[in-house]
Amino acid sequence: MELVAFVVLTTLAFVSGVVVVVHRNQIVAALSLAANLVAIAGFYLLLQAQFLALLQVIVYAGAIMVLVLFVIMLLNLPDEAHRRGGGRVQGGLGLILAGAFVVLLGLAIARSGDGGFASTSGGFGTVESVGRALFTRFFYAFEAISLLLVVAMIGAVLLAKRRL
């Protein structure tokens, strides 16, 4: 059962990822990225990290991607132009290089030993466990990131203003 879900999610993630990287229409690419993010949330659910799966959908798929779509529609961006010359040879070599990169990473992963999944204590991934860790051990990081969000908000508003 888990295996079926894993295969479906992997297919969804990779197909939507390829569409993001390849498709020339930016809105289709953005929507496909949203699908990719939902697939990643599915992966988190498979790993029993429920809180983060929900956060992924709310923050990433529900807010960030909507912002990206909004900007694309606001600026009325056309389809991306063709890639400049370099031709098939360069493209082919690039793909081979990418494949080599994946193989390299795969080798590193395979050699990292055979640690299976630990059996969870039942509280893994729940809101309470993550919240408890967030507000006790990672408290300073939490406050720092709140500050970062405020700075980012002010920065974004100022940068996008028409007249300061």
Q: Cα–Cα distance between 139 and 146 in angstroms, integer? A: 11
Compute how many residues bind another protein; rule: CB under 8 A: 96
Is residue 37 within 8 Å of residue 60, measured between CB atoms? yes
Residue/partner pairs of 67-73 with CB below 8 Å, 24 or more apart: 68/30, 68/33, 69/27, 69/30, 69/31, 72/26, 72/27, 72/30, 73/27
The reply on whether position 164 binds another protein by CB under 8 A is: no
Smallest separation (angstroms) from another protein to the CB of 7: 10
Is residue 72 within 8 Å of residue 24, measured between CB atoms? no
Residues 30-59 that bind another protein (CB under 8 A): 30-31, 33-34, 36-37, 40, 43-44, 46-52, 54-59
Q: Cα–Cα distance between 142 and 114 in angstroms, integer? A: 33
Residues 124-163 that bind another protein (CB under 8 A): 124-127, 129-130, 132-134, 138, 141, 145, 148-149, 151-153, 155-160, 162
Instruction: Work out which of 8, 92, 96, 106 binds another protein, going by CB under 8 A.
Output: 106
Residues 5-34 that bind another protein (CB under 8 A): 6, 10, 13-14, 17-18, 20-21, 26-31, 33-34
Smallest separation (angstroms) from another protein to the CB of 152: 4
